[in-house]
Amino acid sequence: MYGSIRVSEVEVDKQARTAVVVGGGWAGFGAAHALTKLGFSVTVLDASPSPGGLSTGFRTAQGRPVEAGIKGFWWQYHNIYSLLKEVNVVWPFTDWTMSSFYSPEGIQVEAPVFNELPRLPTPLGSFLYTSPYFRNLSVVDRLTALPLIQALLEFDADEETYAKYDAMTARELFRKAGVSAKLYRDFLQPILLVTLFAPGEQLSAAAALGALYYYVLAHQADFDVCWCKGSVAEAIFKPWLDTLNSQGCRMLGNNRVVDVIYEEESNKITGIIAMDGSGERTVYEADVVVFAVGVQAMQRIVASSPALAGREEFAGISNLGTVDVLATRLWLDRRVPLKNPSNVLAGFEPTTGATLFNLNALQGEFADEPGSVLELDFYHANQLLPLSDDAVIQKVMKDYLTRCEPRFAGAQVVDSSVLRFKNAVTLFGPGSHQHMPSTTTSFQNVFMSGDWLRQGPGAHGARGLSQEKAFVTGLIAANAAAASVGLQAQVEILAVDEDEAHIAAGKAAVQGARRAALALGLTSPFL
Q: What is the pLDDT of residues 324-352, one digit of tens each?
A: 999 999 999 999 999 999 999 999 998 99
The domain spans of the chain are 15-55+231-319+433-485
Closest CA to 111 of 137, 93, 129, 135: 129
Q: Is 487 helix (H, G, I), strand (E, B) or coil?
A: coil
- Could you give the percent of the chain with pLDDT greater than 90? 83
Angle, helices 205-212 vs 159-167, to 10°: value is 110
Q: How confident is the model over 395-419, as a mean pLDDT?
A: 96
Q: Is the pLDDT of residue 408 over 50?
A: yes
Longest Cα separation, the chain: 71
CATH 3.40.30.10 fits 15-55+231-319+433-485, yes or no: no
Q: How confident is the model over 452-480, as a mean pLDDT?
A: 89
Closest CA to 507 of 163, 149, 206: 149
Cα–Cα dist 430/198, whole Å: 12
For residue 145, which amino acid is it? A
Q: What is the pLDDT of residues 130-164, one digit of tens each?
A: 999 999 999 999 999 999 999 999 999 889 999 99
Contacts of 219 (CB under 8 A, 6+ apart): 75, 76, 122, 497, 500
Contacts of 297 (CB under 8 A, 6+ apart): 23, 47
Q: State which H helix or E strand residue 82 sits in.
A: helix 78-86
Contacts of 453 (CB under 8 A, 6+ apart): 436, 437, 438, 439, 459, 469, 473
For residue 254, which amino acid is it? N
Q: What is the pLDDT of residues 417-451, one digit of tens each?
A: 999 999 999 999 999 999 999 999 999 999 999 99
Cα–Cα dist 372/197, whole Å: 26
Buried b (16+ CB within 10 A) or exposed e, 69-98: bbbbbbbbbbbbbebbeeeebeebbbebbb
For residue 313, which amino acid is it? E
Q: How confident is the model over 197-225, as a mean pLDDT?
A: 91
Q: What is the pLDDT of residues 481-517, one digit of tens each?
A: 999 999 999 999 999 999 999 999 998 998 888 888 8
pLDDT of residue 527: 79
Cα–Cα dist 439/454, whole Å: 8
pLDDT level of residue 215 (50, 70, 90 thresholds): confident
What's the DSSP call for residue 2? B
pLDDT of residue 2: 41
Phi first, then psi: give them for residue 117, nearest 5 degrees.
-105, 155
Contact 176, 192 (CB under 8 A): no
Per DSSP, the residues of 281-326 read: EEEEE-SEEEE---HHHHHHHHHT-HHHHTSHHHHGGGG-EEEEEE
Q: What is the pLDDT of residues 24-61, one digit of tens each?
A: 999 999 999 999 999 999 999 999 888 875 444 577 88
Q: How confident is the model over 297-305, as a mean pLDDT?
A: 97
Q: Is the pLDDT of residue 81 over 50?
A: yes
pLDDT of residue 10: 47
For residue 524, which amino acid is it? S
Tally Cβ neighbours within 10 Å of residue 499: 18
Q: Is the pLDDT of residue 247 over 60?
A: yes
pLDDT of residue 456: 81
Q: What is the pLDDT of residues 101-111, one digit of tens each?
A: 999 999 999 99
Question: Can you list the alpha helix ranges (DSSP code H) found in 95-158?
Answer: 124-130, 139-143, 148-154
Phi first, then psi: give them for residue 47, nearest 5 degrees.
-70, -25
Q: How confident is the model over 189-205, as a mean pLDDT?
A: 94
